[in-house]
Structure 1
Amino acid sequence: MSEPWSETSAAPAGPAATPKSLLEQMQELLASVTADLAELQSCGTRDAGTAGYPTGTDTSGAPAVSPGTR
């Protein structure tokens, strides 16, 4: 029985090509996620002047309450 994680959807071309190791796959995934995060952060910093928390939602001065109490 074939496991879904053992199949590669983007296998290199050629009969002598070896499948990528798990380490290589994880490095590519990390690079992709890092690039996506950098793009999201650049979008966030560009809009930081206009975006923010809604007015009246700052609770930093509120008294501390134990979890589970009202």
Structure 2
Amino acid sequence: MSEPWSEVSTPSQYPTDGTAAPAAPKGLLEQMQELLASVTADLADLQAIGARTTSPAATASAAGEDGGLSAAR
């Protein structure tokens, strides 16, 4: 007696008509590395935009000369 799951035929992941095989699917590690690289690039872009639009004088006056420390005391 054979198991029902063993009788199911699975198609080959490689074509048999002579065409090139499709690229292998990416592993989880590779996907996570690409995602991290993308997020890092986006963060660098946002930091560059923030550095251009925020001057040191504007941030010092918004927080006070002591950087907002007197309010915390």
Superposition TM-score tier, normalisation by shorter sequence: 0.5 to 0.7
**What is the TM-score when the length of structure 1 is the normalising length?**
0.54
- What percent identity do the matched residue pairs reach? 55
Q: Tell me, which stretches of 5 or more residues in structure 2 are unaligned?
A: 1-19
- After superposition, give the CA deviation of every residue in 1:15-61 in whole Å (9 maximum; x if it has no partner): 342100001000000000000000000001111117547577x6421
- Write out the 4+ residue segments of structure 1 that deviate beyond 4 Å after TM superposition: 53-56
Residues in 2 aligned to 1:35 and 1:47: alpha-carbon distance in whole angstroms: 19
Q: Paired residue for 2:25?
A: 19
Bigger share in helix:
2
The farther-off stretch of 44-53 and 25-34 is: 44-53
Larger radius of gyration: 2
Q: Tell me, which stretches of 5 or more residues in structure 1 are unaligned?
A: 1-13, 64-70
Q: Matched residue pairs, number?
A: 49
